Amino acid sequence: MFPTSGQCLGIAAELRIADLLADGPRSAADLAAETGAHAHALQSTLQILTEDGIFEEVEPGVFANTSRSELLRPGVPNSQFVMSQFAASEWLWNCYAKTGYSVKTGKAAFEEAYGKTLWAYMGQNPDKGREFNMAMNEFSATLGPRIVSGYADFGKAGVVADLGGGTGTFLANILTAYPSVQRGVLADLPPVIEQAKARPELAELIEKGRLDFHAGDFFESVPAGVDLYVCKQITHSWNDEKLLSVLKRCRDASPTASIAAAELVLRPGVQKFVKYFDVMMLVTMAGFLRTEEQYAEVFKQAGYELRRVVPTETAFSIIEAVPVD
């Protein structure tokens, strides 16, 4: 097992190889001349990706797109253009290099490598923060509508708050799919909220008064007066103590509100990538995926009851919790 495929995929996306092959097969030498890459090195890279089923080598040194490499093009349906580069990020691979530290201590390898939390690093390095948010936007654009359509109860809430909702793609999916939702509140750190406010895709929702913002740290405050708190891909970022802290803030701020967490749930027979994702959460944030039983326990401690786990068309489920006395 070699750790090269992810890096090769990232550089292929960065060099826009799939775009350059849109009109048909081309040689590695030709592609290298156009991209400024080293011809032999690029050919070796594309051959690795061919072995992974990404590209096709139609004759020695000549490559063509496949249905999988088409996803490396920006703007196509289900594009993985940004995510492929994000997954090859230097900071992320520096974490993987210290996986042993996380395994031995249960702590984030990121903090061992950089001396600060991932979120502090993103805040101090705006370019990295933007890259992160772009990757999350791409994810939400690809899978978000299919997750949202799988949980009709989104439409039963008058006010929905998306905690850690990034620059708003997933919340916009909810507001668009369910016109019955009167208002959405996007909650994230101030720099992220500023990015969201500047997005032209959200302008109409803002103008119609259907999208508000809550800038702050949800370990300190969450929006009040809402009917449903949405947590998409954030509960896995924390250990039980931190997750419990956020859930209790939600319980205090909106005592009657429910929780809908869109997450990968650990269960027998889960896809291989789910297990990889679990380790990625460990090394980056000291977080982890949970089983249904583990979610039920932490919700119980915060004053909620796990009512059901709703599958969607994707690998993600909606974990629904309701307040109890």
Kindly tell me if the per-residue pLDDT of 97 is higher than 70.
Answer: yes
Over the stretch 235-266, which tens digit does the pLDDT of each residue have? 998 889 999 999 999 999 999 999 999 999 99
CA-to-CA separations, 321 to 235, 261, 291, in angstroms, rounded: 13, 8, 14
Q: Do residues 97 and 49 lie in contact, with contact meaning Cβ atoms separated by under 8 Å? A: no
pLDDT of amino acid 136: 80
Contacts of 60 (CB under 8 A, 6+ apart): none
Residues noted as catalytic: 236
Contacts of 112 (CB under 8 A, 6+ apart): 98, 101
In this predicted model, which residue has the larger pLDDT, 224 or 271? 224
Kindly tell me if the per-residue pLDDT of 207 is higher than 60.
Answer: yes
Kindly tell me if the per-residue pLDDT of 130 is higher than 90.
Answer: no
In terms of C-beta distances under 8 Å and separation of at least 24 residues, what long-range contacts does 126-132 make, across chains too?
126/191, 128/89, 128/91, 129/191, 129/192, 130/195, 131/82, 131/85, 131/86, 131/89, 132/86
Phi, psi torsion values for 312, nearest 5 degrees? -125, 180
Q: What rounded mean pLDDT belongs to the chain?
A: 93
The letter for the amino acid at 109 is: A
Over the stretch 18-73, which tens digit does the pLDDT of each residue have? 999 999 999 999 999 999 999 999 999 999 999 999 999 999 999 999 999 999 99
pLDDT of amino acid 41: 97
Going from the N-terminus, what domains does the chain have, and what CATH number goes with each? 3-88 (1.10.10.10), 102-323 (3.40.50.150)
Q: Do residues 243 and 235 lie in contact, with contact meaning Cβ atoms separated by under 8 Å? A: yes
